[in-house]
Amino acid sequence: MPRPEKVQAVADIKERIEGAQAVFLAEYAGLSVKDQQALRRSLRENGAEFKVVKMSMARLAAAELDIDTLDELLLGPTGLAFADDDPAGTAKVLKDFAKNHDTFTVKGGLLGLEFLPPEKIAELAELEPRDILLAKIAGVMQAPMANLAGLLAALPRNTANALSQLLEKKEADEPAVAVEEAEASDTPSETEDDASADAEVEDDSDTTAEASDADADTDDKDQSAADADDEEK
């Protein structure tokens, strides 16, 4: 029978995973105590928490939540960063910290229940922080204040889904931009089209002028023949 403290430890990890907007896993081996304190302070400023737990307990908690995507990551000296308010801001803190500390590596994570590999977390870190997104929404909303307050209150609950949609939209937009650029390079410019049209107009003008000259020569010849007939008569 599991010891009570072990059961409680698993329950605590499970509760933190369920309550967080996102969970990020990072290998921290080699970090000094001072560096770990700096990381924790930066994460707290962004509404997140970095915890070092026993990986066996973390695996049990993930299993109870039917999360099997983290099994290979919950090994070795791994810390869990729980993003309670702003997953994008937390991802940015971790990304920037990893740049300055070679021994710190972001291994993967969860956005809601969606698994995020390291490259996805890097993309998430490029999104604007939650407070800026909220400010933009508030700026463009034309709804009554009561409706706006309800919207803002609902956003923390739906942050994971909203950020997942933003990541998907970002990936979908990148190929579209590439196609548009390729089409633009293959399409003749308006200047080239205008130049071609002007050249055709000039060609038509030259042809018309040549025809007029030919008609004039014919008239002169006819007049000369008429004059010659009159003289013979």
Q: 84-88, 157-161, 174-178, 202-206 — which one is most confidently predicted on average?
A: 84-88
CA neighbours within 13 Å on the CB side: how many for 22?
A: 35
pLDDT tens for each residue of 197-212: 444 444 444 444 444 4
* pLDDT score recorded for residue 110: 95
Per-residue pLDDT reduced to its tens digit, 13-51: 999 999 999 999 999 999 999 999 999 999 999 999 999
> By mean pLDDT, which of 68-72, 92-96, 121-125, 182-186 is the weakest?
182-186
Give the model's pLDDT for residue 177: 53
89 with 138: CB under 8 angstroms?
no
pTM over 0.85: no
For 173, counting Cβ atoms within 10 Å of its Cβ (0-12 exposed, 13-18 middle, 19+ buried), the class is exposed
